[in-house]
Chain A
């Protein structure tokens, strides 16, 4: 596609349930990032994938959070046993790794009730 696609755009889930968020990066972009933005706060780095290298998971806030990426395509961010503090907009971005330009998806707004 022309841009970074994220799904779902909105997700409401009950506390304790697992959720899976999906990101389709721009074709050919080797780098993929997940960020989180809580209401009224700035962007927080979660995890970064670059090609076939081991991902940088240093931003994941707890072991309830995990992410996978198949090759240089789709990535899924999974949050297990969701808590209310997980409520945020989860943003995905991709870049071609050469010109350092980023393209962001429109985000998934997660609400844990």
Chain B
């Protein structure tokens, strides 16, 4: 079993739909990251969370430390949101490695 699980693995949506991507992890963490990887391979860091909720434009990320769960929401989705969204957790105790989920491939159709 992976230490970081994402769901769904693949997601298709119509433009304008509200999208949720989930991430569950089984280890103690110091922080959780949401990353976006575009078809060309470039990776952008969207959020870093250690508690609560963060919002940036149409993107919202939440984390529940007790339940070891995080969600990434996209409101009013657009075809340019099509990408792979990756959840990654940072281990505590003086190590800086990230453990990655396998990603969620999102396609938004016009």
Contact = CB atoms under 8 A, between A and B. Distances in A.
Interface of A: 31, 33, 37, 41-45, 48, 50, 56, 58-59, 89, 91, 93, 95, 97, 99-104, 106-107, 109
Contacts of B103: 42
Given A56-B95, A100-B31, A104-B42, A42 B86 contact: yes
Grouping DSSP codes into helix (H, G, I), strand (E, B) and loop, the B interface class, with mixed when no group exceeds half, is strand
A84 B42 CA distance: 23
Interface stretch (B17-25, B43-51, B59-67): B43-51
Contact of A42 (B31, B33, B101): B101
A104 B43 contact: yes
Nearest to A109: B41
B92 to A, nearest CB: 12
Contacts of B1: none
Given A91-B43, A102-B45, A107-B41, A43 B33 contact: no
A13 to B, nearest CB: 19
Contact of B97 (A45, A89, A99, A109): A45
